[in-house]
Amino acid sequence: MSEPLAAEAAALDAADPLRGKRAEFVLEGDGGEGAEVVYLDGNSLGALPRAVPGRVADVVAREWGRLRVRSWTESGWWTAPERVGDRIGRLVGAGPGQVVAGDSTSVNVFKAVVAAIRLAGQDGHGRDEVLVDAATFPTDGYLARSAARMTGCRIRAADAADIADAAGPRTAVALVNHVDYRTGRLNDLPATTAALHAAGARVVWDLCHSAGALPVGLDAHGVDLAVGCTYKYLNGGPGSPAFLHVRRDLQPRFDSPLPGWNSHADPFGMSPDYVPADGAPRGRVGTPDILSLLALDAALDVWDGVDPTAVRAKSLALTDFFLRCVRTYVPAGRVESLTPDAHDRRGSQVSLRCVPDAEAVMAELVRRGVVGDFRPPDVLRFGFTPLYTRFADAERAARVLAGVLGR
């Protein structure tokens, strides 16, 4: 039964307009009997782009080793957060000067939520409520609660699909995940943003599981603030700098709760009084992490000339094909897809509920050369990164999964 689907996968790979991108990544590894590992965990950590090691070696040996402090100006270190931010901005639909790269996603969530509450205060409507996606990644919830305590706001959780309806006259800001990290459900960014604006509230979008996987359209949909990581679909490396987007017209009013020297209008003036910089640099805090920031810069080279709509088309085709292979190969009743079938509600991962032995199943998949991940209590997650994942990988993963579950 596997031969027709394997043949179909080969034909789809041959016709894939992004097929040449795979060669730009390090994907070697023993997947058993000489086969490459099927890597379907790019939604946790993206694969290494081949250009990164050489770039990092040059930064260490030449820019740091020989030029030393001169590299802040001669090598462009000082402006790297904005330069790299603009490269990310292209991939999430934000024009130049609205995205800054740096800090962690957690730090940027805190900056964005507090700044949004302060914007509401500047608007003078007495808004004191923070709405948070009930299924959010835990850190987002922790930080939203901390921001609410610090600003005297109350916090209320709602399902992402219901957040727009939940907003009321007291709502200052809603913090929403664009893609649910457990299920891969894509939440409706355009409609939710418009509804929150109509209710007089601001919105902060967490793009960790959508940046680099699908078009986001921050400018097109008037998103106020957004944050995201770069080590998943953007392949920036473990712990690579996150990013913060502040809509252009809101930048003069963006009041960061972390006013570091790097966001000062005259950082080397060493004034005891804080005067925020103009534009995207207002989102900076401390000295940027140059080694990881420039590794990210090199990793983003793989995106040169890539149309995010082509990435989205392949993502949907890959996840459709994988789900079809799972339904064909896997014994009935052993897994249940938690990921929506509808394309307008699906990110770039497939989550399968597997009871009662999901953790052991994933461990065996990894042992057999198919790398996904397990989320307690019973979820198998498979991330599909269109720049390097093949249809043959999807077919093999489903076939190996069937073999594990059929033991």
Q: What is the pTM of this model?
A: 0.96
Same domain, 273 and 358: no
314 is catalytic: no
274 is catalytic: no
CATH of residue 106: 3.40.640.10
Active-site residue, selected from the candidate residues 381, 390, 396, 399: 381
Same domain, 313 and 274: no
> Taking a C-beta distance cutoff of 8 angstroms, is the pair 348, 213 a contact?
yes
pLDDT grade for 35, boundaries at 50, 70 and 90? low
pLDDT grade for 180, boundaries at 50, 70 and 90? very high
Same domain, 92 and 209: yes
Same domain, 289 and 330: no
Residue that terminates a domain, selected from 303, 321, 346:
303
pLDDT at position 33 is: 52
Report helix, strand or coil for 56: helix
Give the distance, in angstroms, between the CA of residue 390 and the centroid of all CA atoms in the same chain: 21
pLDDT at position 32 is: 47
Give the separation between CA 338 and CA 374, rounded to whole angstroms: 14
Same domain, 83 and 143: yes
388 is catalytic: no
> Is 90 exceeded by the pLDDT of residue 42?
yes
DSSP states of 345-404: GB-SEEEEEETTTHHHHHHHHHHTTEE-EEETTTEEEEE--TTT--HHHHHHHHHHHHHH
232 is catalytic: yes
pLDDT at position 407 is: 61
Same domain, 295 and 312: no
Q: What percent of the chain is modeled with pLDDT above 90?
A: 96
Give the distance, in angstroms, between the CA of residue 232 and the centroid of all CA atoms in the same chain: 6
Same domain, 296 and 315: no
> Is 50 exceeded by the pLDDT of residue 30?
no
Give the separation between CA 255 and CA 266, rounded to whole angstroms: 17
pLDDT at position 125 is: 76
Active-site residue, selected from the candidate residues 118, 185, 202, 232: 232
> Does residue 41 sit within a domain?
no
pLDDT grade for 376, boundaries at 50, 70 and 90? very high
* Domain containing residue 348: 2-36+307-405
What average pLDDT does range 323-342 have in this prediction? 96
Same domain, 313 and 373: yes
Q: What percent of the chain is modeled with pLDDT above 70?
A: 98
Same domain, 172 and 77: yes
> Does residue 356 sit within a domain?
yes
Residue that terminates a domain, selected from 303, 333, 359:
303
What average pLDDT does range 51-63 have in this prediction? 98
What average pLDDT does range 265-278 have in this prediction? 96
pLDDT at position 258 is: 97
> Does residue 44 sit within a domain?
no
> Taking a C-beta distance cutoff of 8 angstroms, is the pair 113, 244 a contact?
no
268 is catalytic: no
Give the separation between CA 100 and CA 86, rounded to whole angstroms: 7
pLDDT at position 123 is: 87
What average pLDDT does range 74-98 have in this prediction? 98
CATH of residue 358: 3.90.1150.10
Average pLDDT, the chain: 96
Active-site residue, selected from the candidate residues 41, 103, 140, 206: 206
Token pair 């250009």: residue: 51
Please tell me the total count of domains within the chain: 2
Same domain, 250 and 384: no
Active-site residue, selected from the candidate residues 137, 233, 322, 382: 137
Q: How many helices and strands in the chain, by DSSP H and E?
A: 12, 15
Residue that terminates a domain, selected from 303, 334, 351:
303
Residue type, 146: S
Same domain, 205 and 223: yes
pLDDT grade for 28, boundaries at 50, 70 and 90? confident
> Does residue 140 sit within a domain?
yes
> Taking a C-beta distance cutoff of 8 angstroms, is the pair 193, 221 a contact?
yes
> Is 50 exceeded by the pLDDT of residue 84?
yes
What average pLDDT does range 180-205 have in this prediction? 97
> Does residue 43 sit within a domain?
no
> Taking a C-beta distance cutoff of 8 angstroms, is the pair 80, 297 a contact?
yes
> Does residue 45 sit within a domain?
no
Same domain, 10 and 117: no
DSSP-assigned letter for residue 90? H
pLDDT tens for each residue of 9-24: 999 999 999 999 999 9
> Is 60 exceeded by the pLDDT of residue 99?
yes
Active-site residue, selected from the candidate residues 231, 233, 243, 322: 231
> Is 60 exceeded by the pLDDT of residue 34?
no
> Does residue 382 sit within a domain?
yes
> Is 80 exceeded by the pLDDT of residue 335?
yes
> Does residue 91 sit within a domain?
yes
